[in-house]
Structure 1
Amino acid sequence: MNSRTNIAVHDSTVLDQIPWEQMQDGEYAHRYLLALMTDQPDRYVQNVRTQMWALTVDDRVMPLTVNEAEYDNSYVCSPYTHYVSYAKEELDMLGSPLWKGLFSVVLTGLGLWMKASQSNRMAIVNNWLLSTNLYHEMSAEEAERITHFCVERFPRHIIAFRSVCRKLCPDFYAGLKETGYIMVPSRYVYLFHPDWPALGKWRVRNTLRRDRQMLARSGYRILSHDELEEEHAQRIVELYNALYLHKYSKYNPQFTVAFIRLAMQKRTLTLIGLEKNGRLDGILGYFQRNGVMTTPLFGYDTSLPKETGLYRMLSSLLVQEAERQGMMLHQSAGVGAFKADRGAVGEPEYTAVYVNHLPLYRRWMWQAVAVLLDRIGIRMVEKYKL
């Protein structure tokens, strides 16, 4: 029997044919995919236009997004947005008008090259439309099987996996490379395990302890998932937007009230809030897979004084959740010095792209970008803890 017969793609009309109860995390995947595939994805993530399929591989089911161009999409579906539009917004971090001007020209040229090579004609496997995609254990053999299947099904598309981290999935990472994927650095992320502080420096343990004391003395009440109510949904969107869209970038996923209500009702994210005087001032939402948890939803009232410490308190809550469940915490990218002071370890994260079946003019760009980012981009982030 050909092992590829255990792989299939399903559209919204045949979701009931998937044996969800036999799948790993099948109930969770069913709740999430049924909503996003029955409706259009942009009802839940406003700045995403994509075709979404359910890809079944043996006893796993994963979302598969397919795009043609859509250069204004959030980076979760658009490599052009990730490597050009978003990158241009971050040039102010360089602190030098000269370097900003130089890199702006470079990024404009890269953008033209990406469009010419049809970089956004891409099928992304296991793409949950979140900042971080977590993976079940996947072998090198499975990486090859999925790739062959997707190339046959989408012969004109780049095949890709986002959020590939060698430390979290070493076998899968190696399998992708063996299959012929180009590993393109995408972010420098921070990982934390509850056991690490006890093995490390006293300074780390002391910093974590002071964060907890700040939370305990703050006067904020911790709201569990079940204590949050429907009327909080709009406020949660506002808190997320204040941080991720207004402070950072409009190219981050723009979650809607419908997305928050889905999380509340179907627990597609576990939500925790901070409330004082009847007002919700901070929110986080996490999910977990294969012993790892991550927080695609995080926000607080940025109009309050920095001394309030909402970011510190929310981060402390998240660490406590990781401790309670004994899980690795994927803390995403950014604020590197803050996270390193609290025991997190930096690790490159990649977008793995497979282009061997495509014409040369569509392949060269990815090879060049991978070399450039690996030799320059990652080293800069590591040095300055960005």
Structure 2
Amino acid sequence: MSSSKTIAVHDHTTLSDIHWERMRDGEYARSYLEPLVISDPCRYVQNVQTRVLALAIDDRIMPLTINEGEYDNSYVCSPYTHYVTYAKEELDMLGSPVWKGLFFPLLSGLGGWMKASQSNRMVIVNNWLLSTNLYHEMTAEDAEQITEYCVERFPDHIIAFRSVCRKLCPDFYAGLRRAGYILIPSRYVYLFHPDWPAQGKWRVRNTLGRDRQLLARSGYRILSHEELGEEYAERIVALYNALYLDKYSQHNPQFTTEFIRLAMQKKTLTLIGLEKEGSLDGILGYFQRNGVMTTPLFGYDTSLPKQTGLYRMLSSLLVREAERQGILLHQSAGVGAFKADRGALGEPEYTAVYVNHLPIYRRGIWQVMAFLLEKIGIRMVEKYKL
């Protein structure tokens, strides 16, 4: 591996050495990273225990999270939580006691092996503590040189990248493979571009049109980012929690009001709300990078009748934003049938792990997981459109 690129890691004592103005999206990165590096990240994401540093490579800067164990962490920092704890909860979605009876003990055994292999002793590059990490343009050479640097700096840790999608970053994906990474399927995500419905079936265009009409007739007022003052912060957290924590899993990132206030003040997320009769009933928050946008913050009042259609209306607002900016919308995972009906295409997403520098007893688990999830996990998600 060559080392021609300039790579450095910064903690709270050297953040002032970074020339943020020379970095891609430098002001955004500074607004987001400085609070996480300087203070405890759990101030912003309540169920995350980690240490955050800033990794700079040439004109790009990204967060680096360092963990030793922390098996109760949110899945954004804990592969154990992602592949064992969260996966056990999702078995209920299969609707089959037989499948659950088969996979539950398998996951328990896997969990024991992961702990014995110190699977959570991990450095994750470009980890923004969100469900989806978007990347600047990354090359195969970047993959090799970041790996070389991190192995030297963190010799006892697994080196990892989350949210690796071959369709979005083919050269980087190939570079990770060439550098010796094991690609572990993590989710089946859905991608949508506003140009696709025009090239596809009339049914997709019709479905998107009906969503727009529902929003137009709903009586809801669309609140822009600038209209959402800090008095809405607690309500926004409650709407997100109602969907992602109460309905899905407590292991999703638990955003605090401090996180929301940071988004409001620094626009680390662009917020859009739905308000009716003085009540904020729906919220989304997105960010974009390298021609892709995604929505780590999404929630609505789940106590309202399903026929209100808040999920459909918020999804329609997202499509509208993608159309307005002409960029690709990364719709994350879940409710695959709903997203496919609206023109999204499914694509496997991976966690890439590098373990070649570690003792043999810490390596085997990852090869086994890659095999099982490629042969069974991804195929089941595709079949059931989870």
TM-score normalised over the length of structure 1 = 0.99
Alpha-carbon distance, 1:4 to partner: 5.3
Instruction: Give the 3-state SS of the residue equivalent to 1:70 in structure 2.
Output: coil
Residues 1:335 and 2:324 aligned together: no
Q: Is the 8 A contact 1:4 1:149 kept in 2?
A: no
Residues 1:105 and 2:105 aligned together: yes
For 1:183, the equivalent position in structure 2 comes to 183
Residues 1:253 and 2:253 aligned together: yes
Alpha-carbon distance, 1:180 to partner: 0.4
Output aligned runs, 1:1-386, within 5 Å: 3=3, 6-386=6-386
> Residues of 2 paired with 1:131 and 1:98: CA distance?
30
Q: Is the 8 A contact 2:5 2:57 kept in 1?
A: no
Deviation track 1:92-151 (CA, whole Å, cap 9, x = no partner) reads 112122221221101110000000000000000000000000001111111100000000
Alpha-carbon distance, 1:5 to partner: 6.3
RMSD of aligned alpha carbons: 0.8
> Residues of 2 paired with 1:353 and 1:37: CA distance?
23
Instruction: Give the 3-state SS of the residue equivalent to 2:13 in structure 1.
Output: helix
Instruction: Give the 3-state SS of the residue equivalent to 1:136 in structure 2.
Output: coil
* Paired residues, number: 385
> Residues of 2 paired with 1:373 and 1:78: CA distance?
17
Deviation track 1:11-42 (CA, whole Å, cap 9, x = no partner) reads 01111100000000110000001111111000
Q: Is the 8 A contact 2:185 2:378 kept in 1?
A: yes
Q: Is the 8 A contact 2:137 2:169 kept in 1?
A: yes
Deviation track 1:308-356 (CA, whole Å, cap 9, x = no partner) reads 0000000000000000000000000000000000000000000000000
Amino acid at match of 2:59: D
> Residues of 2 paired with 1:293 and 1:97: CA distance?
37
Alpha-carbon distance, 1:3 to partner: 3.2
> Residues of 1 paired with 2:139 and 2:282: CA distance?
39
1:191/1:5 CA distance change after superposition, 3 Å: closer
1:5/1:343 CA distance change after superposition, 3 Å: closer
Instruction: Give the 3-state SS of the residue equivalent to 1:12 in structure 2.
Output: coil
Amino acid at match of 2:215: L
> Residues of 2 paired with 1:211 and 1:352: CA distance?
37
Instruction: Give the 3-state SS of the residue equivalent to 1:273 in structure 2.
Output: strand
> Residues of 2 paired with 1:274 and 1:321: CA distance?
15
Deviation track 1:143-178 (CA, whole Å, cap 9, x = no partner) reads 100000000000000000000000000000000000
Which residues of structure 2 form unaligned runs of 5+? none
Instruction: Give the 3-state SS of the residue equivalent to 2:294 in structure 1.
Output: strand
Instruction: Give the 3-state SS of the residue equivalent to 1:13 in structure 2.
Output: coil
> Residues of 2 paired with 1:44 and 1:101: CA distance?
37
Instruction: Give the 3-state SS of the residue equivalent to 2:128 in structure 1.
Output: coil
Deviation track 1:241-294 (CA, whole Å, cap 9, x = no partner) reads 000000000000000000000000000000000000000000000000000000
Instruction: Give the 3-state SS of the residue equivalent to 1:127 in structure 2.
Output: coil
> Residues of 2 paired with 1:318 and 1:66: CA distance?
33
> Residues of 2 paired with 1:280 and 1:368: CA distance?
46
* % same residue: 80
Amino acid at match of 1:185: P
> Residues of 2 paired with 1:297 and 1:95: CA distance?
27
Instruction: Give the 3-state SS of the residue equivalent to 2:129 in structure 1.
Output: coil
Q: Is the 8 A contact 2:5 2:145 kept in 1?
A: no
> Residues of 2 paired with 1:5 and 1:142: CA distance?
8
Greater shift after overlay, 90-99 or 45-54? 90-99
Instruction: Give the 3-state SS of the residue equivalent to 1:8 in structure 2.
Output: strand
Amino acid at match of 1:371: F
Instruction: Give the 3-state SS of the residue equivalent to 2:331 in structure 1.
Output: strand
> Residues of 1 paired with 2:273 and 2:294: CA distance?
16
> Residues of 2 paired with 1:228 and 1:97: CA distance?
45
> Residues of 1 paired with 2:339 and 2:290: CA distance?
22
> Residues of 1 paired with 2:346 and 2:68: CA distance?
33
Amino acid at match of 2:198: A
TM-score normalised over the length of structure 2 = 0.99
Amino acid at match of 1:221: R
> Residues of 2 paired with 1:269 and 1:117: CA distance?
36
